[in-house]
Structure 1
Amino acid sequence: MSRFRSKFDGYKLLLALAAPALALIAAFLLSSLVIAATGKDPLHAFAVMIDFGSKSDSQVWIINKAIPYYLSAAAVAIGFRMNLFNIGVDGQYRVAAFFAAVVGGALSLPGILQIPVIIIVAMAVGAIWAGIAGVLKTTRGVSEVITTIMLNSIAGSLIGYFLSEDRLAVKDGNLFHTPNIPAAGHFFTIPTDPKPIYGTVLIAVVIGLAYWFVLGRTRFGFDLRAVGRSESAASASGVSVKRMVVTSMLLSGAVAGLVGMPTLLNESYNYGTDFPAGVGFTGIAIALLGRNHPIGMALAALLWGFLERTGIQLEFEEYAQEVVGVMQGVIVLSVVIAYEIVRRYGLRMQQRKVGEELSARARTDANDDTAEVSA
């Protein structure tokens, strides 16, 4: 039996490596076909991307871009592990960043207090905004997909209402933005040449470690994953499904509230009409691409930033600007389909191997019984 287990463990490792390899090959081939269909050389395109992405300024840009992408993916992944589709991360991080910027611009505290206050406000607002969807789901049975989409729209309208000169914003040329956060509220940067890396990368690291530990090493994480697998089975074991739904949405919203912090604390120092939007929807793709794993999502966020950065250079090489968007979609689809194919194949092989092992043991037992009767 131990030999069977060792063979099975090796087989599982082989399948784990086969899935990303299959996805990589499929994405490369499909992307090459798309580029070739535009009348351009795909190999030259990949060479340009690798060369431009390897430059030091591009690497810093990619890392800084990947920080909010990773935080957004982590927020989405918390819901995914619970079998919840929190499509409202976009609205949650924007409304959280807005009110955090308002509070940060109104206060003048030492940095050791100013920055934590801004971060706590952002997490609290994001949690409250996502918690609305959780409460509606558990009390009224409303799908979180519908409520979070509606809350995205409400968040945009709410920000638009307060982001005016006679309310919570100031006018700067043709733009409106919240009062600037004092220098004490600026997050540190990591000196690199030619531009620094945002210090908020540490926030992403902390969130990644917390995500890994809480969901994979605690009773709460086990209960969360159990509810995601089967609500009825989790309920029968004593887990409060409704409480887990609300808690998961609160955690997802709290992490979503951090998505705007790299921009707010390391770049703009205010919330204006030009504040980045759409990061929440990108997080959905990155969570799928990273298979809801903390390391996988980190690699996916860096890949996404790499594609966006090098896509700029491709335009200078007269490649169609839509090529990068198509490549991003192809990569996500390739990963999802490849993992599903490998999962189903592995399941069939596992069932076959278990069946063969049970049949072999049954034959052995039958032979032993026959030998005893003959004796």
Structure 2
Amino acid sequence: MRVRSFLVGLLPPVVAVGAAMIATSLVIVVTGGSAIDFLTTLFSLPQGRVLVDIVNQTSMLALAGFAAAICFRMGLFNIGVEGQYIIGSCAGAFFAVSGILGGFANIFGTLVVAVLAGAGWALIAGLLKVYRGVSEVISAIMLNYVALTLANYLVRTYGESSGYARTVGPLPASSQPLGFSVLPDAKDIWALAVLAVIVAVGYWFLLERTRFGFNLRATGESSSAATAGGIDARRMVLATMAISGAIAGLVWMPSFFGSTLTFGIPENFQTNLGFTGLAVALLGRNRSAGILVGALLFAYLAAQSNGLQRVGIATEIIGITQGVVVLAVVIAYEVVARRRRRAEQTAVAEQLGTVEDAKS
């Protein structure tokens, strides 16, 4: 029974990936490209630097996914992960390069600052929802643009000239770089990539093994029922938004301390990780293992897309693949869920029919 349940749970993502490959191949053929070249390049075995890039990108995408997922479990749509990620990165970078602390104390202090900045930014949307009834979707979208503008202003006003751009940094020598080499002739894997694993374990423990996690899931299922059960729904909204923003503040830290060492928009900074995290959370069904796998898949597709230019295919085609994967997996999971509910209802009806027959 467990094997069957596992296979049924594995079916939706497999179907989603297959559908994405078919849809993308059709688009490539229609636009005059070679679907065979696309599939061959995409499924070629990554080597050296590409493999390291996949691991590094997976860590950041997973963190963004967890930031979005905890709100999804609460019934909130925190589309503001991108803005919280930007603010956390900006605040952390300014603190890191200030030299207030040195060595590992500077690294730890920067992480704390990034977490607090991301949490504080997320709380703005939470407070507006709780006390003014403003949808977190609307306020978070606007806060994304405010965060981008504010970070740009701070960097251009207080940053240092770096060629044609202005950036914050570089880091003090005692705090850089954090990574370790696992393959010859390849970049280092960022040491702070381990944050993704730590957050994954913490996320699972918080939701599945604590009273707070139970309250969070209960409120997400039904806010009115949770309130009737003695749960303060408004406090849960604020706490969940703060935790989500705190995780979002960590997204850039593996790269910042691992190889980038500076902060500037758009230079030396990877935008849209927050938005991609929403897709990763949906693909992973808001579960720790699923989010890690989803982040790995998205990182793999992004890294392999660099080889598409050699066969005359635009790298932007991967955006179609990623979009179809998310859409297909959501549909597939819904189909599976409906079939399960129908099977459960049938089983209950059969059991009740058996009971009635016994009584008669």
Aligned with 1:321 (options 312, 315, 333): 315
Q: Which residue of structure 1 lines up, in the alignment, with residue 286 of structure 2? A: 292
Matches within 5 A, 1:1-375: 12-51=5-44, 53-164=45-156, 167-186=157-176, 188-193=178-183, 194-273=186-265, 274=267, 275-366=269-360
Aligned residues of 1:102 and 1:168 also touching (Cα < 8 A): no
Percent of residue pairs bearing the same amino acid type: 39
Deviation at 1:14, TM superposition (A): 4.8
Deviation at 1:308, TM superposition (A): 1.2
Relative distance call for 1:271 and 1:320 in structure 2 (3 A) is closer
Farther off after superposition, 193-202 or 231-240? 193-202
Relative distance call for 1:263 and 1:13 in structure 2 (3 A) is closer
Instruction: Provide the aligned C-alpha RMSD in A.
Output: 1.7
Farther off after superposition, 13-22 or 229-238? 13-22
Q: What CA distance in whole angstroms lies between the structure 2 residues aligned with 1:311 and 1:10? A: 34
Q: What CA distance in whole angstroms lies between the structure 2 residues aligned with 1:322 and 1:104? A: 34
Q: What CA distance in whole angstroms lies between the structure 2 residues aligned with 1:25 and 1:160? A: 40
Aligned residues of 2:283 and 2:291 also touching (Cα < 8 A): yes
Deviations 1:136-160 (A, max 9, x none): 1111111001111111111122112
Read off the aligned partner of 2:35 and give its amino acid letter.
Answer: P
Rg: which structure is higher? 1
Q: What CA distance in whole angstroms lies between the structure 1 residues aligned with 2:319 and 2:146? A: 28
TM-score by structure 2 length? 0.94
Structure 2 counterpart SS, 1:259 = coil
Read off the aligned partner of 2:180 and give its amino acid letter.
Answer: I
Farther off after superposition, 83-92 or 316-325? 316-325
Structure 1 counterpart SS, 2:161 = strand
Deviation at 1:184, TM superposition (A): 2.0
Q: What CA distance in whole angstroms lies between the structure 2 residues aligned with 1:10 and 1:48? A: 33
Q: What CA distance in whole angstroms lies between the structure 1 residues aligned with 2:40 and 2:319? A: 18
In structure 1, stretches of 5+ residues that fail to align are 1-6, 367-375
Q: What CA distance in whole angstroms lies between the structure 2 residues aligned with 1:104 and 1:20? A: 40
Relative distance call for 1:260 and 1:320 in structure 2 (3 A) is closer
Q: Which residue of structure 2 lines up, in the alignment, with residue 372 of structure 1? A: none
Deviation at 1:108, TM superposition (A): 4.6
Structure 2 counterpart SS, 1:176 = strand
Aligned residues of 1:76 and 1:89 also touching (Cα < 8 A): yes
Structure 1 counterpart SS, 2:158 = coil
Deviations 1:229-288 (A, max 9, x none): 100111111100000000000000000000111221112212123122111111111111
Farther off after superposition, 113-122 or 271-280? 271-280
Deviation at 1:38, TM superposition (A): 2.9
Deviation at 1:183, TM superposition (A): 2.0
Aligned residues of 2:37 and 2:311 also touching (Cα < 8 A): no
Structure 1 counterpart SS, 2:231 = coil
Read off the aligned partner of 2:41 and give its amino acid letter.
Answer: V
Relative distance call for 1:64 and 1:13 in structure 2 (3 A) is closer
Q: Which residue of structure 2 lines up, in the alignment, with residue 3 of structure 1? A: none
Q: What CA distance in whole angstroms lies between the structure 2 residues aligned with 1:252 and 1:49? A: 33
Q: What CA distance in whole angstroms lies between the structure 2 residues aligned with 1:172 and 1:178? A: 9
Aligned residues of 1:15 and 1:346 also touching (Cα < 8 A): no
Deviation at 1:317, TM superposition (A): 0.4
